[in-house]
Amino acid sequence: MKISKIDDVLETCNNHLEENYAKGTEIEVFITRYLLIYICAVFENEIKEIIVKRASKVNDPFIHSYVESSLRATFRQISTSGIAGTLNYFGKEYKEKFNDKINGTKMQNDYNSIVNDRHFTAHDSGSNLTFNDLMGYYEEGHKILDILYDVINEDLEQD
């Protein structure tokens, strides 16, 4: 699931880095660290939106409200294991399907690399990830959101 907000920001930052010959400089490090935080924030919102939209298909506004409130209160870890844990609340088969589709894949490694490097940036020594590395991780990592969407909506498509 490519996200236009992220794609636009990545393109703007890439153009800036190239036009100003800033790749390999401290500016690249700062921009990449900012992007890690931005991308994870957008991912988190997308994950919540996918789950809330799924809940809204029940046609019960109280269930929809409950799921939305519960996500705000409990969803704190956007790593693939955090997503799987949230899916487990819907039923262990959702968690298992998700894990079966992602475990050991490049998309899982790349997605979690973004999440882990964001953590290092926000809570530790910072990330040494280059802009090009981040672009590569995003190219594969965003596919985790497609898997989440497919898994959580799979039973609806079969009806």
pLDDT at position 157 is 58
Report how far residue 72's alpha carbon sits from residue 67's, in angstroms, rounded to the nearest whole number: 9
**What is the widest separation between alpha-carbon atoms in the chain?**
55
Q: Which residue has 């409130």 as its token pair? A: 69
Q: 3-state DSSP call for residue 20?
A: coil
Average pLDDT for 67-94: 92
Alpha-carbon span 154 to 48, nearest angstrom: 17
What is the structure's pLDDT at 44? 96
Q: What is the pLDDT of residue 75?
A: 87
Q: Does the pLDDT at position 136 exceed 60?
A: yes
Please state, rounded to an integer, the average pLDDT across all residues of the chain: 93
pTM: 0.92
Work out whether the CA dihedral 84, 34, 69, 151 comes out positive or negative: negative
CB-based contact 93:158 (threshold 8 Å): no
Angle CA 130–145–16, to nearest 5? 30
